[in-house]
Chains A and B, each alone.
Chain A
Amino acid sequence: MALVLAVIGPGFITANVDNDAGGIAVYSVAGAQFGYSLLWVMIPITVALVIIQEMSSRMGAVTGKGLSDLIREEFGFRATFLLMAALFATNFFNIISEFAGVASSFELFGISKYIVVPVAAFIVWGIVVHGTYNSIEKVFLSASAFYVAYIVSGVLAHPDWRAAALSTVTRPESTGFRNYGYLSTVIALAGTTIAPWMQFYLQASIVEKGVTARQYNASRLDVIIGCLFAAIVAWFIVVACAATLHSVGKYDIETARDAALALRPLAGEYAYLLFAAGLFNASLFAACILPISTAYAVCEGLGLESGLDKRFHEAPAFYWLYTILIVCGAGLLLIPRFPLIRVMFLSQVANGVLLPFVLIFVLLLVNDRELMGKYINSKWYNVVAWTTVGVMIGLTVAMVIAQTRSDDKPKPSAAREDARRVSRVAPPGRFHVAAADMLC
């Protein structure tokens, strides 16, 4: 345990932030709709996550430079500019959805978003502006610990442990894949696992922590432990929803908020509270990390002054980007009748479009011998990595296409059940809240 505590850091934080409001929604839906039968997905997505995260953290440790720096140095200004513009836009949408997650978690406690969102924005701004790397890492690591809430609520749900364990390790039945809903949920699970910002954030934090190639083994362990913990949390969310909602035939949840509300009568008040608190923690956590990591990545890639140790007039672009992301990201949510569903859908599409480019850049850079020396991927690692990246890209693109299609045209009644997560329009009164947790 002491060893674990000594090595956990950036890798652990990144993997956990990945279980944000959108991720929790997908896991809940997967559990409620398909019970334990989708648990097998957890193992392959954990492997994929470890492989991709490991490359980013290795690159940070060996080169001592951020991903956007390396892309700039190796692929030139124009490619970097386009990529950074896309990253900014994508992360802006992601930030809106994280603030929406914060808002919806508090609405579970009956507190208005008009109070919660500004307070959350202020906390996000304060933590980062007044912290140093070490103090922020501690805050973030403590926030990661709160994910235990989901494990506890999973236990409180009294699942059938044997069935859950078995379906985690058995090969899925091929008939399942013929079901559109089953397939699209598999795709959604994979799609929420890896987001473009993670590669930038992880590599930058490894650099900022001052990890060198010599200490890299500890960082690799950090990545692996982080991904395992994140996967266990995800597993318990699926299990909690499977044991309660699915077993009583309550399949029709569409958001993490729905899951929390549905858990209340079935698993008890504590499970409900833990679920809601977990959602708040996850969303705020991601909302803290995204704006600052975006501002750093963009400024470094474009060669603009950046850093919290600089004053406003020394690094204006950096502070403007950071401020715009937080103020606009939170502010837009407060506009009545803001088209949140559209925006969150766009955020998912943007992530999906950007991801292939980022992953391919990562693979090209990590295999550049001039840059990485003896730390390039081994031949076999490359086979696995390219395959993983290929599959991830395929699934993400598939998800985007599936969402675009289900978003564009009304489904026939048989398919509507499966596609409703993305196509249903909530009644006006619940519009924002439902949208906040939309699968995205």
Chain B
Amino acid sequence: MSIVALSELLGASVRDATGTVRGRVREVAVTPEDHPTRIAFLIVRTAEGERILPPGQVKSCGPVVRADTDARAWDRYTASDGVLLLKRDLLDQQIIDVHGRKVVRVMDVEIDSTPLNSHLLLNVLSVDVGARGAVRRLAKGLVPAFTLRALLEKIPPRVIPWHFVDLLETDPARRVKLKIVYEGLSKLHPADIADIVEDLAPAEREAVFETIDEEVAAEALEELDPKVQVSIVESLDSDRAADIVEEMDPDAAADLLGDLTEARSDEILKEMQPEERQEVTQLLEFGEHTAAGRMTTEFLAVPETSVVDDAIDALKVFEGSREALATIYLTDGQRLTGAVPLVKIAVSSPAVQLSELSEPYIACAPDAPDDEVAALFDKYNLITLAVVDEHGRIAGIITADDVITMLRHN
């Protein structure tokens, strides 16, 4: 096997079976529907027009490509959506480096060339994003080939293996045909996804959020700057936007919808499931900078008569965020009566009554302003803070991560 760089291949002269130069390589194509990495064909610009040359008819490739068929036998090239053209779609474009968790620009593409029954098997191996590709492209045609090769050997490579590459394609139909699903990206931490998304142009952000799993999209969206959140949600259709907003924490969802225009936010609410819609609408009614505007309505409250085992059962079916689980709240059916830290439950035997483990709880009113909330967190070293209405009922909780975000923004 040997490695050929895309930039070497582009512009290479192509000789047919007779040894005559018939044209030059203009593009290198992959058809992901057939094979994810295999080069399907080279597009050769000949005097008669553009022709297709599959690797199965190529004996050797490099600065000169030798085919073992006659030029007249080469098929005419017609453009098609399902074809990934390495020069047009990849070279100099931005891609997501899933392993390095960032957006990078492609300097060159490395193609693996393996002989098979006197022909070649060409596969995309990796993309070059470093100085080696840069020097190769700058020096191409200006420096003798062997000098260049010697020079390039001295430059340490910076390549991303092909399976860590997620392409950016803004056309949804083409994305399907090219099988771009952002599989690698979806597996990253939501905060990393958010960082990557911030480096993208709006159309590309939209592409990512249209494609990735709703739950992942929701978590990543929460991590983004509110302005970016708004622009992404505005670009999605309301159906898709509703699917994502449903998966968000109700408080984050309410903040986001509050930032949208009323018409847009109503459209999205209409598409949401009734249960999630109700939660979010309630939160929307409070001012954004009050305790109620900051709180989430997904928290864990159990009757004060429960035992540790019941609490653990409740934990297992809880669907809210992990941060909300730091404290389990006790009620007498109506009013908030106590709070049990998760740690105490973890270290107590299953039959212990929760009321025995209860600590005095700290709470604030729904209309408590931001600075009061922050002061309570600071004074009592809280992880969660209960928000209690005028009847003593718990309406929601504020978690420490919300407070950190709030403090950083203010």
Contact = CB atoms under 8 A, between A and B. Distances in A.
B231 A303 contact: no
A303 B201 contact: no
Contacts of A214: 234
A249 interface: no
B64 interface: no
Contact of B105 (A81, A212, A303): A303
B104 A303 contact: yes
B374 interface: no
B138 interface: yes
A105 to B, nearest CB: 37
A76 B202 contact: no
Interface residues of B, number: 22
A81 B138 contact: yes
A72 B92 contact: yes
Interface in A51-106: 63-65, 69, 72-73, 76-78, 80-81
A78 B135 CA distance: 10
A212 B134 CA distance: 32
Nearest to B7: A77
B137 interface: yes
A214 B138 CA distance: 39
B92 A76 contact: yes
A77 B137 contact: yes
A128 B91 CA distance: 33
Given A72-B92, A210-B231, A77 B203 contact: no
A35 B94 CA distance: 53
A77 B92 contact: yes
B344 to A, nearest CB: 40
B228 A77 contact: no
A73 B137 CA distance: 14
B138 A73 contact: no
A84 to B, nearest CB: 12
Interface string B296-326: 0000000000000000000000000000000
A221 interface: no
Contact of B92 (A64, A65, A73, A212): A73
Contact of A64 (B91, B129, B134, B202): B202
Interface centre among A65, A72, A303 (most CB of B within 10 A): A303
Interface string A303-346: 10100000000000000000000000000000000000000000
A212 B129 contact: no
Given A72-B92, A77-B107, A303-B104, A212 B137 contact: no
A302 B231 contact: no
B103 to A, nearest CB: 10
B202 A72 contact: no
Contact of A212 (B104, B106, B231): B231
A77 B93 CA distance: 10
B138 A72 contact: no
A65 B201 CA distance: 6
Interface in B92-137: 92-94, 102, 104-107, 129, 134, 137
B72 interface: no
B134 A73 contact: no
B203 A72 contact: no
B227 interface: yes
B93 A73 contact: yes
A64 B105 contact: no
B201 A63 contact: yes
Interface in B53-93: 91-93
B134 to A, nearest CB: 7
B107 A303 contact: yes
B407 to A, nearest CB: 16
A305 B91 CA distance: 18
A4 B227 CA distance: 22
Interface string A154-187: 0000000000000000000000000000000000
Nearest to A74: B92
Contacts of B204: 64
Contacts of B105: 72, 303
A210 B104 contact: no
B93 A212 contact: no
Contacts of A73: 92-93
A80 B134 CA distance: 11
A125 B106 CA distance: 31
Contacts of B91: 76
In this complex, which of A64, A77, A212 has the most chain B Cβ atoms within 10 angstroms of its Cβ?
A77
A212 B91 CA distance: 26
Interface string A287-306: 00000000000000011010
Given A72-B92, A210-B228, A212-B202, A77 B104 contact: no
A78 B136 CA distance: 10
Contacts of B138: 77-78, 81
Nearest to A209: B227
A438 B203 CA distance: 45
A80 B107 CA distance: 12
A214 B260 CA distance: 14
A210 B203 CA distance: 12
A210 B231 CA distance: 8
Interface string B371-410: 0000000000000000000000000000000000000000
Given A72-B92, A77-B137, A81-B134, 5 more contacts: A73-B93, A76-B91, A207-B201, A302-B134, A303-B107
4 tightest A-B CB contacts, nearest first: A303-B105, A64-B201, A64-B202, A77-B137
24 contacts: A63-B201, A64-B201, A65-B201, A69-B94, A72-B92, A72-B105, A73-B92, A76-B91, A76-B92, A76-B137, A77-B107, A77-B134, A77-B137, A77-B138, A80-B92, A81-B134, A207-B201, A210-B228, A210-B231, A212-B231, A212-B235, A214-B234, A303-B106, A303-B107
